[in-house]
Structure 1
Amino acid sequence: LSTLKYCKIEYQQLLLFINFTNYDSSSIEYLIINGHLPFSALHNLLCCLPKLQHLSITYLYKHDDYQERNKLSSIQLKYLKHVSLKLDYVHFDEFEKIIKEFFYHIQILRLTIVYDETYLDAKRWQQLILFHMSYLRIFDINHQSSVNNNNLTYHDIINQFNSSFWNENK
């Protein structure tokens, strides 16, 4: 399997417990996971894929019962250009750490967010893009939920993305 470049995994099982506690480098460049993967497994998974170019995970979720035992040292994913993720109950603070550690070179980021409205903070995204994703060309975010903050409406939130930064970088 040392020459495997493309890997697509599909499964129906709700809880997949994979331990990436040893650094086993893989040659995979395209990884597609069509199934549920605990968010806490993502860091170590990425550490095992130094040649990764394209990552797609259909359901990345917060699972309190699953914790990676040994966190591997981060690696630079200089080939990673395209990321597509659906995040369910994953706090923005936690995802932001992944962005800062692994997403510096990405050009395309497509996210579907379920329930966490903190992902709709345009200024926070602006700072992340400027300082941690400077190669980003396409940023596509889809938020699925209702806004719980009574002071803001979706219209108000969307207008945050109409600043000069967003207009100049369309």
Structure 2
Amino acid sequence: TKETKLIDFNQCQQSSIENFIVNGNFPYESLEKFLVCFPKLCSLSINRLVRLNYLTEKDFNPIELKNLKSISFELHSIYFELLKALFKNFFKYIEILTISIYNDNGSNFFDGEQWEDLISTSIPKLRIFDFQHHYSGPMDHFLYACHSGDFRSEF
């Protein structure tokens, strides 16, 4: 497989594209500059959002994306706090959210109270929330079963 690298959007001009699907690795650290290039997005799907830099936290500048209503992410090595930063800075108008988590980072996503707080404060227009967790081995299945009971918020 090819190594994922930062994508340079510095020369990108704003586009009128409304629906965008990334069918491959996309670096978390490049998302802000990508969104600046596509201010009219209505729907965004990234089938493998990955974090490249584990040593430093990325600070984002907020972007108003009022047309963006639907997001689908498959997360790899992205933890809840990192995802939370994305919603606070870019995705407060979304109505449909699909998130797929893989066994390498899923356990910190099972706290229903943190989701309730995120949704009520950062994405209050959310109508549909599709959360999927995928695991690959017997131990991952066991851990999933243990943690899934933590997701019992009534919001």
Q: What RMSD over aligned residues (CA atoms) do the two structures have, in Å?
A: 2.9
Q: How many residue pairs end up in the alignment? A: 149
**Superposition deviation, residue 22 in structure 1:** 5.0
Report the equivalent of 2:95. Answer: 107
What are the residue-to-residue correspondences of 1:84-163 with 2, within 5 Å?
84-114=72-102, 115-116=104-105, 117-145=107-135, 154-155=144-145, 157-163=147-153
Whole-Å Cα distance in 2 between the matches of residues 153 and 13 of structure 1?
31
- Matches of 2:101 and 2:138, distance apart in 1: 12
Larger Rg: 1
Residue 35 of structure 1 aligns to a residue in which SS?
A: strand
* Local SS of the residue matching 2:8: coil
Change (3 A) 1:161 1:73: closer
Structure with the larger RCO, 1 or 2 (CA within 8 Å, 6+ apart)? 2
Q: Percent identity?
A: 33
CA distance in 2, matches of 1:110, 1:147: 25
Does the 8 A contact of 1:81 with 1:108 survive in 2?
A: yes
Question: 1 CA distance for matches of 2:123 and 2:65?
Answer: 12
* 1:26–1:50 CA contact under 8 A, matched in 2: yes
Asked if 2 retains the 8 angstrom alpha-carbon contact of 1:30 and 1:53, the reply is: yes
Structure 1: any 5+ residue segments left out of the alignment? 1-11, 166-170
Unaligned runs of 5+ in 2: none
Once residues 24 and 156 of structure 1 are traced to their aligned partners in structure 2, the CA distance between those partners, rounded to angstroms, is 47
- Matched-pair contact (CA < 8 Å) for 1:13–1:35: no
* TM-score of the two chains, using structure 2 as the length reference: 0.81
Normalised by the length of structure 1, the TM-score is 0.75
**2:45 is aligned with 1:56:** yes
Question: 1:21-61: per-residue Cα shift (whole Å, max 9, x none)?
Answer: 35632111100011111111112111221111000011111
Q: Cα deviation per residue 1:112-162 (whole Å; 9 max; x = unaligned)?
A: 1122211121111100100111110111111223798xxx95455434433
Q: Aligned partners of 1:72 and 1:23: how far apart in 2?
A: 18
Q: Distance in 2 between matches of 1:109 and 1:121?
A: 17
Q: Structure 1's 35 and 51: CA in aligned 2 closer, same or farther, altered over 3 A?
A: same
